[in-house]
Amino acid sequence: MAFFQWEDSYSVKIKEIDDQHKVLVGMIAKLHEALSQGKGKDMMGVIVNELVDYSINHFSLEEKYMQTYGYPNYTSHKKEHYDFINKIDVFRSDFQAGKIMLSLEVMNFLKDWLTKHIMGVDQQYSMFFREKGLK
């Protein structure tokens, strides 16, 4: 069984955002696969970079919609994004510098954070955005 895969229950019923969430799930799965197969630090570093960059872009998109439509929980949602980016950016730096290794613990953190975020605060904007016409 795959370490992490998309499930229909993750859907926020907005295609553009679901598609980005699928990419994020896929990146975490790819990183886990690289770890399991004992791939080198360089290859894992590429995936970590992609994950950080894609997360930043994804969060920017959600925050843009929140600002555009006056989403009431914008500030608290943005803080979750900010805290996550800070955390994985520190991880990226330490990993690239050889200070820490990628581990199953890190993988579980990424998987659990994304699942909880998508199923929690992301689900909360679904109805609000759809009422504004996003689909």
To ligand FEO, the closest distance from the beta carbon of 117 in angstroms equals 6
Q: How far is CA 16 from the centre of its chain?
A: 14
To ligand FEO, the closest distance from the beta carbon of 24 in angstroms equals 8
Sign, CA dihedral 78-84-86-89, equals negative
Helix, strand, coil share (%) of the chain residues, nearest 5: 80, 0, 20
The Cα 69–Cα 132 span in angstroms is 7
Q: Does 122 interact with ligand FEO (rule: CB under 6 A)?
A: yes
**Interface with ligand FEO (CB under 6 A), residue from 44, 47, 52, 62:** 62
Q: Does 117 interact with ligand FEO (rule: CB under 6 A)?
A: yes
The residues of the shown chain that bind ligand FEO, judged by CB under 6 A, are 21, 58-59, 62, 77, 81, 117-118, 122
